[in-house]
Structure formats: structure tokens, C-alpha cells
Amino acid sequence: MDNRNLNVSHLAWCGLVALQNARDDGQVNSPAQENLFLVRWLALAEKQRRFNRELAEDIRWLLRTGRNKGVHADLPGKLHYLWRAGSGSLKEQNDLFRLQHALQAVKLAGWVYRVLSVSEWSGRNRVRLNPSVSGMYINKVALDNGFDETGTQRSPLPVRITGNLAGLDDLLEQSGWRREPASGDDPQLHYLLAS
């Protein structure tokens, strides 16, 4: 574990503790109040420079997300995710958690990421993918059925991928996943497998 992970984990832990204290004191009673509390807490942390300089961009990103998306930003969920990802070895987490980590990294790298319904995945309403846009498109039914209750992968996860496969492979490998091309006539179809 490197210092960056420890710092991100510490930031997330502090935010979660502050939020829980606010709940216990009766200051926060709804998701909207949670978002407002965390936006104010992050803004104050940024203003007072409470955390290491290398976390400034993370704090700005959380602030921007909380302000722009409001309650839909799910700041408590993001902080919990950052805390879990940074507080232990990622490879020790279950398959589903590591996949979520990989997909978050894909989004942060500027890739398009979508979960496609049955009609968007195949048939006449199938989504047409632009090969010049880096994107990862996951079959919703396979995602829903691909993991057991402990988050362990049960079956290969079909995805359609466009863009730089080498860059994607690096992101997947960091999270303990790998990509295998599917045999057949669809060059965009691949399978994701937990390593």
C-alpha cells in the first residue's frame, strides 16, 4: 500500500466519521442533508488545507460532483468506496468490489462506461458503438447474474469494448481482472474474468 492510498483512505474515513457524528447529533436526517453536509465539510477542508496537497484534486472532484449532482452524487457511497479501496489490499477484496474499482478507473480515464439492457445489447434496438470512442458496455443481465451473494464471479461477464485495449488491460490488471476476446464475428465482444 502506498502513501497515496493511505491519504485517500484517511480523507474518506474523516468524512465518514464527520457524517456519522452529524447524524448522531441530529443535524443530518436525509440523503439531501447528507450531501449538503459533506459538500460543506469538503469545502471547509479544502479552504483550511486539512489534507495533503496531493488530495486537492480528489477533494475538488468530490465537491464538484456533490454540487452538480446533489443527492444523486451519493457522496457517502463514494467516501465509503474510497475508504474500502484505500484501507487494504485491493486484491484481497471480492470480485465484484474489484470490478467496481476497475470500472471507476475506466471512467476516470475518460472512457465511456454503460450498462446495457437486453434490448440495447442485442436485436434491432441494439446500441451502435463508435469504434473511435473508447468505451466499455456491459450486459446488464449478465452483470446481475454473474456474481453470487459474496461478490464472487460465477460466470464470464460479456462486454463490448471500443478503443485502446492495451490501456484498458492495464486498468483491469491493477484491479485483478482480465479481458479475453470472444470467438465469433463480433470483434467488439469480450469477456471479463476475475484473475
Whether 87 has a pLDDT exceeding 90, the answer reads: no
CA-CA distance, 101 to 107, in Å (whole number)? 10
- Which cell numbers hold the place of 155? 460466470
Which residues, other chains included, contact 195 with Cβ-Cβ below 8 Å and sequence gap of 6+?
173, 176, 177, 178
What pLDDT, on the 0 to 100 scale, is given for residue 83?
Answer: 81
CA-CA distance, 182 to 186, in Å (whole number)? 8
pLDDT digits (tens, 9 = 90+) for 159-189: 999 988 888 888 888 888 999 999 888 899 9
pLDDT digits (tens, 9 = 90+) for 120-172: 999 888 999 998 899 999 999 999 999 999 999 999 999 999 988 888 888 88
pLDDT digits (tens, 9 = 90+) for 25-82: 999 999 999 999 999 999 999 999 998 888 888 899 899 999 998 888 889 988 887 7
Domain ranges of the chain: 3-86, 91-194
Phi-psi region of 153 (alpha: psi -120 to 50; beta: other; left: phi over 0): beta
Quickly state the pLDDT bin for 4 (edges 50, 70, 90).
low
CA-CA distance, 84 to 48, in Å (whole number)? 25
Nearest to 139 by CA among 112, 157, 155, 161: 157
C-alpha distances in angstroms, 126 versus 130, 175, 181?
Answer: 13, 29, 20
